Amino acid sequence: MSIKEDNEKEPSLEIMFLAAVKIIQNLPKEGPILTSNDTKLEFYSLFKQSTVGPCNQEQPSFWNVIERYKWDAWNKLGDMNKEIAMKKYLELFNEQINNIVNQYGVDYFLTLEKDYNLEDVLEPSFRVLGRSIKNPLSVDCQINTFSETKNEVKIIEDEVKSNDGDYIDAIENIEFESVTEIQSIQYENKPFSESTDKTFTKIFSNFINLLEKKTFQLSSDVIKLTNTVIEQNNIMKKILIDKNKDEYNKKVISNSISWKVIFFLFIWPFFVHYILKYWKIIKMLFSMYFEW
């Protein structure tokens, strides 16, 4: 095989995937482009499926809201193999890039490249994906239809590192099974974007406030019910005491106030006390359980 033919060899799916990850990684987290939480979760889940495989982590605790959403998104992919996951990642990437260009024009990435000193980042990655920084629009958005030189492939392999912005977790020494030997990639922990974090925090705060309000109302109802029962019990006792103290009435009184009733009246205040004391926690656990 000649050098020219070797250089014109089409990049592998893994190399194209890494190029897309690198572009996503270097896009500014703040700016005119707003990415929905659903899209971020989709990027995240496909990235994890492409690099790690099917979800192999334990389900996060219900109070860890953000990690729970991320785990759910990844776990929904089931046994999808890495190749399909990478193709879907690239399809989602192409869709996002085309939407950006259609909305902000073909000069958007040129301006981005200049403002953020990304001359050595965006252009090589776009070329691997069959695009150009001067015209990022893809003709047919097909995968595995473009060619690239070995030098540019080497740049992509070496420079895709720590993380995919808002879309990945910390993973170490991830290797792709391919004829192209790709360096191990070490990923750093980064949470969701600040806006995403604020959104989840606001939702969770509203939920807690509503839960506290409902719990307070329920506690008030329990107190009222307890007072009513005590009042009725006092009335009953007074009526029974005022009756004639003959043998028949003594039997009635004895049968009416059995040891079970006395025991119930004795433990009822303690039962109500613990219900009121731990009701918020109990209500929250049940609510979160049924919600998930």
Are residues 229 and 180 part of one domain? no
Record the pTM. 0.50
Are residues 157 and 261 part of one domain? no
Q: Structure tokens of 140?
A: 């047919």
- Report which of 136, 42, 130, 57 is spatially closest to residue 92, judged by C-alpha positions: 42
Q: Structure tokens of 105?
A: 């024009």
Q: Structure tokens of 158?
A: 């070496």
Number of domains in the chain: 2
pLDDT tens sequence for the chain (292 residues): 444 444 456 789 999 999 999 988 888 777 666 788 899 999 999 999 999 999 999 999 888 889 999 999 999 999 999 999 999 999 999 999 888 888 888 788 888 888 888 878 888 888 898 888 777 775 444 443 333 434 444 444 444 444 444 444 333 333 333 323 333 333 333 444 455 555 666 676 667 767 777 777 777 777 877 788 788 778 877 777 776 666 665 665 555 566 677 777 778 777 777 777 777 777 777 777 666 6
Of 143, 170, 191, the one marking the end of a domain is: 191
For 174, the domain range is 3-191
Here the CATH number for the domain that contains residue 89 is 1.20.80.10
Are residues 75 and 58 part of one domain? yes
Place of tokens 């190399």: 15
Do residues 41 and 73 make contact, with C-beta atoms less than 8 angstroms apart? yes
Are residues 149 and 45 part of one domain? yes
Are residues 142 and 11 part of one domain? yes
Are residues 144 and 69 part of one domain? yes
Of 132, 160, 191, the one marking the end of a domain is: 191
